[in-house]
Amino acid sequence: MIYQGRVYIFGNDINTDEIIPARYLNTSDPKVLAKYCMEDARPGFAQNVEPGSIMVAGNNFGCGSSREHAPISIKESGIACVAAASFARIFFRNAVNIGLPIVECPALVNRVKEGEELQINLEEGAITLPSGEIITIPPFPAFMQAIISKGGWLSYLTSG
């Protein structure tokens, strides 16, 4: 479970309405939701995101409503992993449930810049900065790795 890609930076308190605006919640189609990902936080984001990229944010990422559409839109937009100083609890749970890898790491936020390359290794618990410096994080528990690798909780449960 190694994710490496271009970094997109977001600030503190990015709420689910900024991640996927309510005006687009008339569908649950992931491909449609992806078109509008982060539209109110950064217009045009979804049209320019590079597949495999990493989103880095400040405190309380995913606050607001408990809509599962938010992590779905991020995952389907091409973001491979989200790292933030902290997550809203329900967003964290929803992300794991739909198979979006997320990492809490307050030490990362001010040490990486937009457009730089970042590597996150969930198994070993390591974030490699562009400078080569490594930030140690708790490794993802095996059961969470299994859920993520299966694409989410439902796939994990039905795969036997």
pLDDT digits (tens, 9 = 90+) for 85-141: 999 999 999 999 999 999 999 999 999 999 999 999 999 999 999 999 999 999 888
Q: What is the mean pLDDT of the chain?
A: 95
* Interacting residues of 109 by C-beta distance below 8 A, sequence separation 6+: 56, 57, 58, 84, 85
Please tell me the total count of domains within the chain. 1
Distance CA 80, CA 108 (A): 17
- Position 160 scores a pLDDT of 62
Distance CA 112, CA 27 (A): 35
Q: Decide the pairing of beta strands 102-104 and 117-121.
A: unpaired
Provide the 8-state DSSP code for 134.
E
Rg (CA), the chain: 15
Q: Please calculate the CA angle 10-13-17 and round it to the nearest 5 degrees.
A: 90
Domain harbouring 113, CATH code = 3.20.19.10
Q: How many CB atoms sit inside 10 A of residue 130's CB?
A: 14
The parent domain of residue 68 ranges over 2-158
CA 127 centroid distance within chain: 15
Q: Which of 123, 124, 127, 77 is nearest to 104 (CA)?
A: 127
- Position 65 scores a pLDDT of 86
- Paired tokens of 45: 């984001």
- Position 16 scores a pLDDT of 95
pLDDT digit string, tens, across residues 14-73: 999 999 999 999 998 999 999 999 999 999 999 999 999 999 999 999 999 888 999 999
Among residues of the chain, what percentage have pLDDT more than 70?
99
Handedness of CA 90, 77, 119, 111 (dihedral sign): negative
